Amino acid sequence: MTSVHGFVDPRFEISRIDRRLFGGFVEHLGRHIYDGIHEPGHPTADADGFRADVVELVKELGVSTIRYPGGNFVSGYRWEDGIGPREDRPRRLDLAWHSTETNEVGLHEFQAWLDLVGSDLMLAVNLGTRGTQEALDLLEYANASVETAWTRRRAENGRDEPFGVTMWCLGNEMDGPWQLGHRNAEDYGKLASRTAKGMRMLDPGVELVVCGSSGSGMPTFGSWERTVLEHTFDDVDFISCHSYYQEHGGDAQEFLASGVDMARFIESVVAIADAVAATRKSDKRIMISFDEWNVWYLHREDGSESGDELTGDDWPVAPRLLEDRYHALDGVVFGDLLITLLQHSDRVRSASLAQLVNVIAPIMTEPGGPAWRQTTFFPFSITSRLAGERAVRVPVDAGTITSARFGEVARVNAVATVDDGGATLFLVNRSTTDAVDLRLDITALAGGDIAVIESHLLHEDDLYAANTLQEPERVGVRPLDGAHVTDGILSLQLPAVSWAAVRLG
């Protein structure tokens, strides 16, 4: 047992927390839309075909803003295909995921689902196979309030009032050779700037996200951000980050250092954005939309990639793609990634968990059957519910673990949030071998006259225990036994490979 010490002090404030940090991502991919959120024949389906059991789980998850409709899908998407009478909508081949898109669910239907789950819409425009004019058409259809050809069509399709979409993504992963309409940084930056300028002429209140690199491992990472921002700095509010993590070669200890990689990625992009600002002698600060992040077993141990099975003449509707099964270890790493986002909430103002249902998702469904929570569900739902108004640094002296990639990294990673009602502490023990006996000085919180209101622990002796169709409740969270406050000292014990949340009030 290792005895460590730290403190929680509201004066170590990082930033106020933008609730869009707890966003999600829904793409027309695999069984996410069809058989996931939309299954008209399901016993719980409502009149519009949406699964009520999934609606309740998404509400419990607590997602704020949901990015839609992609992802890679958006770079070949004609948004007009998803409006008007369903019987008149075309079936299209989706080149991104080698599938057939029926267009049963489009903008109006997805907004209706968002109304059910209580989330806001964040739209991505196609800058892959389309361009500025199509983006302006969609913006006018969605947001304009005066009578035009597009708003008359919107009314004919059942919506007189604008959708009022505030946040817009200018394409998706345009640095990636896999992306339809892939461009170099110069060409994309010019297109994004033209599109952004036009969108602001139509609706000055929009917030715009320009594409950053698809990952920090891309060969153009860094130079891409700099070039794109040199073209778009005055036109946009955010630059995107995308990053996925997985265990490689059974090395759980290295996997548990994933949060360090995310932190360095964020800090690198911030440095580049601020360098561009400095050269322009501008005090404007470009914020980060970390609009794709998750654990994703993208690369198999045999060297192949997940999701590359569909080829040839078979173009199925809603195939089973990217349906990763998450185990306890994944859930702990996932919780650490959330801590890292909160630690950078001064610049990460929006984030989208990719994705929500069936596709690398915290929620799984079976056609005609149940829906259940994966291990990653718990850290997200608890953090979204308990996170307060302001993020606070929590220095913890817990020693280090050794990472082959990052060297010595903190054994315990922690952050707190504070509000008028108290504080919440989020922690992870990254060690695969040692439990941690933690004592935190919290006298700066209400003079220490504060108690543990609720606590949650995600930990399994079997790191690879998972929730499945056969055992949907194999892994869950339980109270953190023994967590208590005495004389202004919070004492708690974190088992090896564990994530915890403690609410103080």
Give dist(CA 104, CA 215) in Å, integer: 32
Would you call 292 a catalytic residue per the annotation? yes
Interatomic CA distance for residues 358 and 83, integer angstroms: 25
**CA quadruple 459, 462, 464, 465: dihedral positive or negative?**
negative
- Which ranges of 256-327 would DSSP assign to H, the alpha helix? 258-279
Q: How far apart are CA 165 and CA 321, in angstroms?
A: 29
Tokens of residue 270, six digits: 């911030």
**Which listed residue (27, 39, 109, 292) is catalytic?**
292
Kindly tell me the sign of the dihedral angle through the C-alpha atoms of 368, 372, 376, 380. positive
451 closest CA partner among 416, 418, 483, 494:
483
**Nearest 5°: CA angle at 396, between 251 and 246?**
20
Catalytic residue among 101, 173, 254, 460: 173
* Annotated catalytic residue 134: no
How far apart CA 382 and CA 28 sit, in angstroms, is: 27
Instruction: Label the pairing between strands 92-94 and 99-101.
Output: antiparallel
Q: Check if the beta carbon of residue 316 is closer than 8 Å to that of residue 450.
A: no
Q: How far apart are CA 274 and CA 271, in angstroms?
A: 5
Question: What does the block give as tokens for 347?
Answer: 């610049």
d(CA 330, CA 347): 26
The tokens for 466 are: 């998972």
Identify the three-state secondary structure at position 38: strand
3-state secondary structure of 393: strand
Helices (H) and strands (E) in the chain, counts: 10, 25
Contacts of residue 249, Cβ cutoff 8 Å, sequence gap at least 6: 301
Residues identified as active-site: 173, 292
